[in-house]
Structure 1
């Protein structure tokens, strides 16, 4: 291990240790109990040092899980509340599929609403629960909790993160705070303004409370600084507004720590990604000469742009409901068609061949499995603990091979296209930008069906960024771009199957 790699190892170890300490410290004085309410996995957060306070039920958004809402739960628990998180049907570790899906929105909304009602009834049985409780929801769940609160007199106050298209009025639900990220889409922010304007009687101002808390007509709007659609639930600004609103609803003055874990998560995962550099030195050298098409910019750009434009057009009217996983089947089809077009372009312009294709698959597979083990243990376990559930249930395990057949086509084509002695500088980044643009075109062509892909595009970009660094270091050691292609394809197939909602 040379000096540079050793220094990277030390820096990565320090970042990981510091990040873990930062993430684990807030839970030191909390009691966290796990339960099952019918088929719904539930977690209950309480302060160890305070008497049980009012109950707040917290709901996650589309393709999320209860881990995603830990910052809200811990912030409220530190303020003396009893916070309840859970997994919706088809999400996280909830084994019940989500009936209806996109085809029958009313049916899926009914099922999810019933689960919120179950959580309300469960919350009212907990120690310290009063006659009323609070609701907090993000994105998809913001709509659901508002609709549940309108029909349920037991709800005293609501905090809706990134709400859009709900049935809120000037007086229903009781005491509503809407929090949007300052970087959110204008449509969401305008919807929040519309809701609060019904109570203000004029153009509402941010962070001004309108209406009367005692009568249940209080309305407030806040923009969390420096946050977008997902970052808003990690924002110190947004979490502080949430806690203060619930304090006003329940006439309390407790403060406590704000679990704004963004910095700790950044340190932990930057350290884990950096650790891949020294670990890559343990991989075998498979090829004495670097392999790959290495076409240079003149040849690469048409091979990258053409699939980006053609794929959404090919899939525009094609049936893509071939797997019981909401939107994951379309995403898999997009990867497969995009990759097949790239391979076709490579074959038409310069058929792949040579000694590199005759490297024994056994060595390549073993190296890919080693990288995949790093993804699963080094990154997967922390993600499952601190971010969102990626531990597949029995049904989800069965879906991974089908997804892998699609993602592997894309990654084999893309890694081969962007690697090699003559590869274009910046070609890897350009190819990923084109893929994201291709998804944006697909959403524009079919917004009703594919709208939720907009929400997960930032997550896909994060995956591409991590894959980019790991691929670079893996390729530098093995000389074969297909090692990273195989591991990246398996890791993404796993992530899609573990996070996208399972439907019936």
Structure 2
């Protein structure tokens, strides 16, 4: 690090630390005045949110979607708890810290749907019996759980309000469930908006428009579709529109009118994570140098494009008909093979196209391993702890630890090949972004070829984009400091393997 660069790095580090501290204080302050307790409903982990001085109140049971966990639903839980309700979140089978896997075939659906419905029923029974509960109950569910809460409310007519976020549910009727609100993000697929309109039109006789309430709360026929502004499938869970509309709907159903605190953690989470990413730049100056000069393929555009576009086309075609169910984690096994084959094909292309080889470099393997360990540790701890507290379950249960190692066998070849392809003192501008676009394109081709099995990959695209952005910056600064692609590649391989292993649901087929 040059003397002139030191003041700039110190300034960035100071600003980043301020952002992190301010964001964490605001996030922590969101629960002031609430009593938050953790328990088990049978063997299902649950969290109960309620005001410290609460009188007997209705209970709202809140269910997360596919590959989520109860942390994702905290914005709704804390909004409702601050406004006089008892909110109960939980981890579905195979998700988060629920150590019991789902059983069945995701393409068949019936068995898993029945399991999840039984689990929601058990959690709702637990919630109704809470000492502060007045016996009245409502439900709220996102994505996969939107169908589960609708089915539960249909089977239990005393459920007074249902909120279905990012909805799909073929079982809704004109009279059941009672008082159904549908929320869809404006950036979500049109099929979800159309599904919301279809459900509301059961009451509106085909004339439904977003933002209008049809039916009435007294007889339970109230229906409404809300389009949350500026958000997609995950952002809809942090949207101000979602919080306000869900609270107002539940208030109307339960005859209450308190409307005070509205959760706004999205901006504070962004502040924290931008600060953590920014802090990686000044810290990268502390990494040991791994090579005497910059190492990388340094391909011109023509061979770079050949290497970048061969793997995304060939990978889904090769895997199309191959069995990919070999890990007890839904879609994680397919992603592992996709990363592995994609990396192998990119590596083969590099073997024939590269201009520079490892043998020409003076390399310190010890420094590379030290740098990779430091970068991986920073990413897992600095990003992981706030993620686990405020976004989704990031700390693995014991059953998931071997899965991290297994998935890393796929992510490692991919990131090693990709880093080598896109790094170098004369690397092409935009090469790193191009290869990430190609990987997402490859996943899209895979979904098109096998939509029934791989559809849920579409849902995680925003999360993969954020991971590529955040850890792409970290690996770029790592490369600038170490002059070698391996530290960033090794760290990213571990981070992505960890994220996949702790996020996707465990399943016994």
Q: TM-score, length-normalised on structure 1?
A: 0.98
In the alignment, the residues of structure 1 paired with residue 73 and residue 358 of structure 2 have an alpha-carbon distance, to the nearest angstrom, of: 51
**After the TM superposition, which of the residue ranges 417-426 and 405-414 deviates more from structure 2?**
417-426
In the other structure, the counterpart of 1:224 is 228
In structure 2, what is the Cα distance between the partners aligned to 1:101 and 1:135?
26
State the 1:18 CA deviation. Answer: 1.6
The residue number in structure 2 matching 1:465 is 469
CA positional deviation for 1:294 = 1.1
Supply the distance in 1 between the matched residues of 2:476 and 2:254 (Cα, whole angstroms).
53
Q: 1:361, 1:321 → 2: CA distance?
A: 36
In structure 2, the residue matched to 1:107 is 111
1:175 to partner: Cα distance: 0.6
Matched, 1:170 2:189: no
> Aligned residue pairs: how many?
504
Shift of 1:166: 3.2
Q: Does 1:486 align with 2:490?
A: yes
| Offset from partner CA, 1:256-302 (integer Å, 9 cap, x none) | 21112111011010000000011111110111210010112222111
Secondary structure, aligned partner of 1:422: coil
Contact 2:289 2:367 in 1 (8 A): no
Q: Distance in 2 between matches of 1:351 and 1:102?
A: 46
Give the Cα–Cα distance (whole angstroms) in 2 for the partners of residues 168 and 193 of structure 1. Answer: 12
CA displacement 1:57-97 (0-9 Å, x = unmatched) = 00000000000000000000011100000000000000001
Q: Distance between the aligned counterparts of 2:56 and 2:31, measured in 1? A: 16
Give me the whole-angstrom Cα distance separating, in 2, the residues matched to 1:44 and 1:131.
15
Map 1:125-274 → 2, pairs under 5 A: 125-274=129-278
Q: CA 1:290–1:352 in structure 2 vs 1: closer, same or farther (change >3 Å)?
A: closer
Q: Aligned to 2:383, what secondary structure does the other structure show? A: helix
Give the alignment's TM-score, normalised by structure 2: 0.97
Do the aligned residues in 1 keep the contact of 2:35 with 2:52 (CA within 8 Å)? yes
Residues 40-119 of structure 1: matches in 2 within 5 Å? 40-119=44-123
User: In structure 1, which of residues 373, 387, 412 is the aligned counterpart of residue 377 of structure 2?
Assistant: 373
Given that residues 142 and 161 in structure 1 are in contact (C-alpha distance below 8 angstroms), is that contact kept between their aligned partners in structure 2? yes
Pick which of 163-172 and 340-349 moved more.
163-172
Partners of 1:346 and 1:352 within 8 A in 2: no
Could you list the per-position Cα deviations for residues 21-50 of structure 1 after superposition, in whole angstroms to 9, with x for gaps in the alignment?
221111011110000112100000001233
Partner residue in 2 for 1:398: 402
- By how many angstroms is 1:103 displaced? 4.6
> Cα–Cα, structure 1 residues 224 and 186, in superposed 2: closer, same or farther, change >3 Å?
same
Deviations along 1:114-133, one digit per CA (max 9) or x if unpaired, are: 11000110111013323430
Does the Cα contact within 8 Å between 2:50 and 2:86 map onto a contact in 1?
yes
Match of 1:435 among 426, 439, 443: 439
Where in structure 2 are there 5+ consecutive unaligned residues? none
* Structure 1 residue runs without a partner (length 5+): none
- Provide, for residues 125-158 of structure 1, a one-character-per-residue CA deviation record: whole Å limited to 9, x for no partner: 0133234300000000001110111111231110
**Contact 2:20–2:271, Cα closer than 8 Å, also in 1:** yes
**Equivalent residue, structure 2, for 1:276:** 280
Please provide the CA RMSD for this pair: 1.3
Classify 1:49/1:337 alpha carbon distance in 2 versus 1 (closer, same or farther; 3 Å).
same
Q: Indicate which of 388, 410, 413 corresponds to 1:409.
A: 413
1:451 corresponding residue in structure 2: 455
14, 26, 45: which one aligns with 2:30: 26
* Counterparts in 2 of 1:101 and 1:7: CA distance versus 1, 3 Å: farther
The answer on whether the counterparts of 2:293 and 2:361 sit within 8 Å (CA) in structure 1 is no
Asked whether the equivalents of residues 54 and 82 of structure 1 are also in contact (C-alpha less than 8 Å), the reply is: yes
Deviations 1:194-246 (A, max 9, x none): 11011012311222211121111111111011111111110011110000000
Q: Secondary structure of the equivalent of 2:100?
A: coil
